[in-house]
Amino acid sequence: MQKEQIHTISSQVPSCARREYEKVTVPTVTWRFRMKFLTAIATWTIIFLLVDSPGWAEEPPTATTQQIRPEPHLANIRQLTFSGKNAEAYFSPDGYKLVYQSTLEPDGKTLRSCYQIYTMNLDGSSVSRVSTGLGGTTCGYFFPGSRRVLFSSTHHNSPYCPPVPQRTERYRWALDNYDIFSINVGARDLQRLTTNPGYDAEATISPDGRSIVFTSVRDGDLDVYSMDIDGTRVQRLTEEVGYDGGAFFSPDSKRIVYRAHHPTADEEVKAYRELLTQNLVEPTNLEIFIMNADGSNKTQVTHNGRSNFAPFFLPDGKRIIYSSNVSTPVDHQGRPSFHLHVINEDGTHPEQITFNGHFNSFPMFSPDKKQLVWSSDRNAANPHEFNIFLADWVP
């Protein structure tokens, strides 16, 4: 088992084992997307999420080399973090705090080799670690009342970071032995909500505070599940062969938006299942889906055959914001760019929202519907760096 390495900013940042949502968080991994045939689309590493991958791409441009383009829906953009890998920032229900995952400790100098969970004010101040500091963690989310945080962690299995999967020709991420926990924002009263062996992660909470939705391999496939806020009454929501995950509730808590890849060709299904036995998954194209909170009425939203992930409902509950590489030409030679897009729930009227940086993902609207938080590599001062940004939303 690999011990966690602690580095200062002045030292080389180590690669770390990253799970799913990181699967789209560090813009430096090699991705190949298959749409009935293999389409090469360059290297990049993540977030989903979110991740390290097979081979490094060219370094992201620094702030001095980026060309700033207008982003009409975003005003008063503020950068909240300034070093390391920072992703999946989500608002507290009272709108005063953010919970996020990061490799940078609150001292602003110490970089970890895998993520821990932190909270901060909306101006980036008062950073505090709420997870244990052991193992690898991902997917922090506030409970109703803003006093507890939900997250997934491997610390119950080992105090060290999970081992990094061997790099291969195509990008893969490991399905590490995560379980779902809750903890007080003061890093007290740790409670374990899942105890199944294998991957239980990507957990978020319904706005009405009654349900948790998450991804698990407990039944032999990567599927979306729901459970009560205390971890009881677990219900499987997806049954299709393939990856289903990264789910979020609609503002009225009645529907769920998620990302999925369902292989259909026999050889693709066989390859998917073989990797699953090794606790690995190899993402190909991901599409956005919606379904009712009980798993009924599944509807595919995007049909572009590209990598679409990190979906979140707009405050009106009728549109979805998500990250995608759809604006990168299929025959593009080099790293694809991932940008935020908005689309109607019926798949009509897609609109690109971000244009700067090579990676923009993990969007969430504030409870008052006025602000958007997301992760981006724009203004990156160092290779493989991505930070948290906050902007006023302009409808």
Write the pLDDT tens digit of every residue in 77-108: 999 999 999 999 999 999 999 999 999 999 99
The model's pLDDT over 197-210, given as tens digits with 9 standing for 90+, comes to 999 999 999 999 99
Query: Where in the sequence is the domain holding 56, given as residue range(s)?
Result: 6-393
Looking at this protein, which amino acid is placed at residue 132?
A: T
The model's pLDDT over 285-306, given as tens digits with 9 standing for 90+, comes to 899 999 999 999 999 999 999 9
Has residue 95 been placed in a domain? yes
How far apart CA 139 and CA 154 sit, in angstroms, is 12
Has residue 333 been placed in a domain? yes
| pTM of the model as a whole | 0.84
**pLDDT recorded at residue 66:** 55
Has residue 55 been placed in a domain? yes
The model's pLDDT over 326-356, given as tens digits with 9 standing for 90+, comes to 999 988 888 889 999 999 999 999 999 999 9
Has residue 205 been placed in a domain? yes
Residue 360 forms beta bridges with which residues? Answer: 376
Nearest to 160 by CA among 180, 177, 136: 136
What φ, ψ does residue 128 adopt, rounded to 5°? -145, 135
How many CA atoms, within 13 angstroms, populate the side-chain half-sphere of residue 82?
10
The total domain count for the chain is: 1
What φ, ψ does residue 270 adopt, rounded to 5°? -60, -45
Grade residue 323 by pLDDT with cuts at 50, 70 and 90.
very high
Grade residue 166 by pLDDT with cuts at 50, 70 and 90.
confident
Looking at this protein, which amino acid is placed at residue 166?
A: Q
CATH classification at residue 144: 2.120.10.30
Has residue 1 been placed in a domain? no
What's the token pair of residue 68?
A: 């700033």
Grade residue 165 by pLDDT with cuts at 50, 70 and 90.
confident
Looking at this protein, which amino acid is placed at residue 261?
A: H
Across residues 3-7, what is the average pLDDT?
Answer: 38
How far apart CA 122 and CA 105 sit, in angstroms, is 17
Has residue 308 been placed in a domain? yes
Has residue 375 been placed in a domain? yes
Nearest to 115 by CA among 81, 154, 165: 154
**pLDDT recorded at residue 170:** 76
Has residue 268 been placed in a domain? yes
pLDDT over 90, % of the chain = 76
